Amino acid sequence: MSSSSGDMGNLLKQAQRMQAAMDEAREELDGTELVGSAGGGVVGVTVTANGDIQDVRISSEALQSGDKALLEELVLAAVRDALSQAKRAREERLAQVTGGLNLPGM
């Protein structure tokens, strides 16, 4: 019976180490910035790897065009590009922590 309690203790320690590694990965992802762009770079959006938008840049050229609908599309495309990069970065980093296991909520 003591063997099973030892196994349970080891499992708990492993879970605690994984949780600490997950917390460290999340913190690292908060500090990782990715830039999405659209229109050949006339619009740029910077996000953290956790998906928090940090900055939006629109070139003077894009503003001078006066095409509001096009500018809105470019901003949306740049946001989508940045968030897509952030998702990939998150998945890659968290896969390192989980050993490729697809754990719910991570």
CATH no. for residue 35?
A: 3.30.1310.10
pLDDT band at 101 (very low <50, low <70, confident <90, very high): low
Instruction: Kindly tell me if the per-residue pLDDT of 104 is higher than 60.
Output: no
Cα 29 to Cα 50: distance, rounded to the nearest angstrom: 6
Cα 79 to Cα 99: distance, rounded to the nearest angstrom: 30
46-65 as b/e: b if 16+ CB within 10 A: bbbbeeeeeeeebeeebeee
- Give a yes or no: residue 105 inside a domain: no
- Residues 58-67: what's their mean pLDDT? 90
Determine the pLDDT at residue 21.
85
Question: Tens digit of pLDDT for each residue in 73-90?
Answer: 999 999 999 999 999 998
Question: Tens digit of pLDDT for each residue in 8-52?
Answer: 888 888 888 888 888 888 888 889 999 999 999 999 999 999 899
The tally of domains found in the chain comes to 1
The whole-model pTM stands at 0.75
- Give a yes or no: residue 106 inside a domain: no
- Give a yes or no: residue 29 inside a domain: yes
Range of the domain at 34: 2-98
- Give a yes or no: residue 103 inside a domain: no
Cα R_g (the chain), whole angstroms: 21
- Give a yes or no: residue 67 inside a domain: yes
Gap between the terminal Cα atoms of the chain: 33
- Give a yes or no: residue 91 inside a domain: yes
